[in-house]
Amino acid sequence: MAFTGTRAVPAAAAAAAAATLRGAPVAEPREAIRVDSHLDGGQERALADDVLDGLTRPFKELPPKHFYDARGARLFDRICELPEYYPTRAERAILEQRAGELAASTGAVELVELGSGTAAKTRVLLDALHAAGTLRRYVPFDVTESMVRDSARRLTAEYPGLQVHGVIGDFERHLDRVPRAVGPRIVAFLGGTIGNFPPGSRRRFLRQLARLLGDEDFLLMGTDLVKDPRVLEAAYDDAEGVTAEFNRNVLLVLNRELGADFDPADFDHVALFDREHEWIEMRLRARRELRVNVADLDLLVHFDAGEELRTEISAKFTPERLTGDLAAAGMQMAAWMTDPEALFALTLSQRS
């Protein structure tokens, strides 16, 4: 059963009431913040299923979504600051350069952001929509409730009149819970996370995204681009070893959530660019023969010495590949925007 909670922030209502008393023009004294939660224990089941499925295959594999517990999220934030990890900086630079244009050309009154996290890059877009005078609503969608609530509080304080309708959920399962549009909107899927999907499910997911778009709406998506493999591999194997820690962190998640007894020190971090598929693969390589018990699943997992567990693919794009994926999902590119070095791309697409 899905739990749906809606809580409002009384302070906002009080402020609206006070404004009305002072005679300020408050058109509709609605609550500024609403948050719906759709997490129902399905997350834990998903982890158990993924582990059972992924660790009993001939080529062991875990989906990257399980990296992001509190520690994993902190490590990812550190990755974004690393000199080798250019995607975050490049995407931000594009946003800063093009946000005004995006606001003007879309006329968006609302921003839906999938995987909003701390909403750091969002501000650039919200600023532009606010400056254009169109901004009405922000819909952050994330699995982490505290992040959605914190950004809702900060952003409603910063942008008077902004409505925030947060959705707590897994965007692979709960996209249909995104509220109905209040006007032309931008659906943002930033950071290059689309690269985590293998090609088949990538197109399936893009089709689901297309369903969120009406005739006046746009998908704004960030994608990392194909480039010199040395640059790519360095971005996923930094000198400081933060990405290695991030990679091994998934083993600690399994220890905590499923009673597994992994010792992260038994695994080496591996990052390599697969030139045929044009994606980065991250793996954990067993340093010796291992037997790992996953108590909650009654599962004993054997690793040969040197055996690898794939923990992430991060696909890199060319304009042609992206155009093909979008077309297969019933969308059409309206704008292609890159940073000066063409490291990363932001694209605006519409339903075709």
Binding site residues, ligand AVJ, CB under 6 A? 79, 87, 191-193, 195-196, 236, 243, 312, 314
Shortest spacing between CB 246 and ligand AVJ, in angstroms: 6
Instruction: Give 5's Cβ-side CA count (13 Å radius).
Output: 10
- With CB atoms as reference, the residue minimizing the distance to ligand AVJ is 314
What tokens does 69 get? 């517990």
Distance, CA of 221 to CA of 218 (rounded, Å): 9
- Residue 92 vs 351, nearer CB to ligand AVJ: 92
- Residue 79 vs 219, nearer CB to ligand AVJ: 79
Shortest spacing between CB 107 and ligand AVJ, in angstroms: 29
Shortest spacing between CB 314 and ligand AVJ, in angstroms: 3
- Residue 163 vs 243, nearer CB to ligand AVJ: 243
Distance, CA of 289 to CA of 70 (rounded, Å): 30
Shortest spacing between CB 214 and ligand AVJ, in angstroms: 27
Q: 335: buried, middle or exposed (CB in 10 Å: 19+, 13-18, 0-12)?
A: middle
- Residue 63 vs 191, nearer CB to ligand AVJ: 191
Identify which of 255, 251, 340 has the alpha carbon closest to the alpha carbon of residue 297. Answer: 255
In this structure, which amino acid lies at residue 187?
A: V
- Residue 4 vs 208, nearer CB to ligand AVJ: 208
Confirm if 298 and 287 have CB atoms less than 8 A apart: no
Shortest spacing between CB 84 and ligand AVJ, in angstroms: 10
Shortest spacing between CB 14 and ligand AVJ, in angstroms: 38
For the chain, the 3-state helix, strand and coil shares in percent, each to the nearest 5, are: 40, 25, 35
Q: For the sheet containing 163-168, what is the strand order?
A: 33-37, 163-168, 137-142, 110-114, 185-189, 218-224, 344-351, 331-338
Which sign, positive or negative, has the C-alpha torsion 166, 168, 171, 177?
negative
Distance, CA of 276 to CA of 165 (rounded, Å): 42
- Residue 37 vs 193, nearer CB to ligand AVJ: 193
The three-class DSSP label of residue 261 is: coil
What tokens does 166 get? 């947060």
- Residue 164 vs 280, nearer CB to ligand AVJ: 280
- Residue 30 vs 204, nearer CB to ligand AVJ: 204
R_g (Cα) of the chain, nearest Å: 21
Confirm if 31 and 13 have CB atoms less than 8 A apart: yes
Shortest spacing between CB 347 and ligand AVJ, in angstroms: 15
Shortest spacing between CB 23 and ligand AVJ, in angstroms: 48
